[in-house]
Amino acid sequence: MNHEHAFVCGHPALDFAATLRARRTVRHEMFSAPDRLDAWFVESGLVDSVTPGDDDDVERAKALREAIYDLVTARRLEREYDEEALSLVNDAARKPPATPQLTRTGRRTEASAEQALSTVARYAVELLSGPDVPLMKECDNPECTRIYVDRSRGTRRQWCGMESCGNRFKAAAYRARKKSAQATASG
């Protein structure tokens, strides 16, 4: 399976929230179809297999994602939680989660979309009530709106991921410095 989804945020709930990319500009939707949502659940490692979802599952997933993003943003900016977002996440978390089972070959987690969404919601509850809250940061790339957990030494990480944003920014900064140096040399 080729992995189209990125998991750079350091937490499943934040990776889930990041499936709507570049929120302030082009808004790139990763859950464009039910199979993309199903793929995310499996690629994230939350489940080994998921019952194929439908358009309603995609709509529920998007609503949960936006609620998680709202709550994470509120917590990061030390604002009050939006009541609707809070209810949506708590309602999803109350549903039965994906449950691992022991098989002859090891552990296997099969789930419906609802169970997988419940698992994501429970991760969000844990994150937002846990010790990593002060470590949540938004990527320094102004076009990227991913929020990640910064567990770097001295919490000095700037980018959601080097491949996705860091290298692009460093290359642009290098080109700008080189151009500036050439202008200075020729002037």
pLDDT (tens, 9 = 90+) of the chain, 187 residues, equals: 455 678 999 999 999 999 999 898 888 999 999 999 999 999 999 999 999 999 999 999 999 999 999 999 999 999 999 999 999 999 999 999 999 999 999 999 999 999 999 999 999 999 999 999 999 999 998 888 999 999 999 999 998 887 768 776 666 665 666 676 677 776 6
pLDDT for the residue 3? 58
For residue 1, is it within any domain? no
Query: Which residue spans within 16-130 are E strands per DSSP?
Result: 20-21, 28-29, 49-50, 99-103, 106-111
Counting the structural domains of the chain, the total is 1
For residue 130, is it within any domain? yes
For residue 177, is it within any domain? yes
Range of the domain at 131: 12-186
For residue 99, is it within any domain? yes
For residue 129, is it within any domain? yes
pLDDT for the residue 1? 44
pLDDT for the residue 169? 61
Residue 137's beta-bridge partner residues? 148
For residue 25, is it within any domain? yes
Q: What is the C-alpha separation between 156 and 146, in angstroms, rounded?
A: 16
For residue 50, is it within any domain? yes
The domain that holds 65 is classified in CATH as 1.10.3300.10
For residue 128, is it within any domain? yes
Residues 6+ apart with CB under 8 A from 1: 39, 42, 43
